[in-house]
Amino acid sequence: MKFQKSVIEIIKERKSCRSFSNAEIDNITLGKFFDFIDEINSEAKIQARFLFAKINKKSDGVAEKLGTYGMISGASTFIIGIIDKNEKNVLEFGYLFEKLILFATDLGLQTCWLGGTFNKNQFEQKASLYQNEFIPIVSPVGIKKEKPRIFETAVRAAVGANTRKPWNQLFFDRDINVPLNENSAGAYSIPLEMVRLGPSASNKQPWRIIKEGNQYHLFLCRTKGYGRPAFDIQKNDLGIAMCHFELSAKECGLNGYWNMNTNINVPDGFEYIATWVDGI
């Protein structure tokens, strides 16, 4: 299923939402979203799956509360990401979940990535997990409240949700001592900008890209002290970056693919992830 709007415009439009109205998602929109979830699940090449959970409402019409520790209010529907405990490909998980987020945005719905700020046990009860599965990521999905809570505004300010690192801190030309500018990036300036605009856990923006000829090497620059429990959340962020880069490159008519290059010179403090090879 294709996006209705430009994926570039969708990426620019998407913002995390923590305050939702009680309005129901209409059945036509729900049907499109269910179909896309099925498509993503069939596309997945990893031991992971995604489902849509609708939270029951009490007699007063208010949705029962799932444990999001006050981070989310008013949400009654969620995307739940499920992965096998032995699955190591966190990149693909983040890539696929971000596709769902972008599709929801395309449908006019609001979302918010949640990693460590939800009660996993409560969501696990809703998801009927198979043996050895767990839930690393969920997102509310719905219609935003017209006037956000003061709490939401404060949270966005605290994590710097409205700010992104500049190009000279993220993208480089052959060497990390040489920042890449938009003119030098040429046609790839748009996919790179879409990476820059991507969401990440606590807005850490751990992606770095080095351009070398017609190749774009993607690296993870870990945040010191940002732990790696059962699920590597910063590698998940790199999956989001790969999703944004690939989808926007294709929309721009740029032919290319992600590849692993064993001859990469990895800068100190970086972890090599993948290389985008331009098809030319």
Beta strands in 94-192 (DSSP E): 110-111, 133-142, 171-173, 175-179
State the pLDDT at residue 117.
76
pLDDT of residue 278: 92
- Please compute, for residue 279, the number of CA atoms within 13 A of its CA located in the half-sphere on the CB side: 10
DSSP H or E run through 217: strand 215-220
* Sequence-separated (6 or more) residues with CB below 8 Å from residue 154: none
CB 94 within 8 A of CB 82: no
Structure-token pair, residue 269: 């403090």
Could you list the pLDDT tens digit for every one of the 280 residues in the chain?
A: 789 999 999 999 999 999 999 899 999 999 999 999 999 999 999 999 999 998 765 544 444 556 665 688 888 899 999 999 999 999 999 999 999 999 999 999 999 999 877 878 888 888 889 999 999 999 999 999 886 665 555 554 555 556 899 999 999 999 999 999 999 999 999 999 999 999 999 999 999 999 999 999 999 999 987 867 789 999 999 999 999 999 999 999 999 999 998 889 999 999 999 999 998 6
- In angstroms, the Cα distances linking 24 to 35, 50, 61 are 18, 21, 11
Predicted pLDDT at 61: 45
Residue-range domains of the chain with CATH: 7-155 (3.40.109.10), 167-278 (3.40.109.30)
Q: How far apart are CA 120 and CA 267, in angstroms?
A: 36
Question: What is the C-alpha separation between 10 and 12, in angstroms, rounded?
Answer: 5
Residue 130 CB-density burial (10 A; 0-12 exposed, 13-18 middle, 19+ buried): exposed
H/E stretch holding 218 reads strand 215-220
pTM above 0.75, yes or no: yes
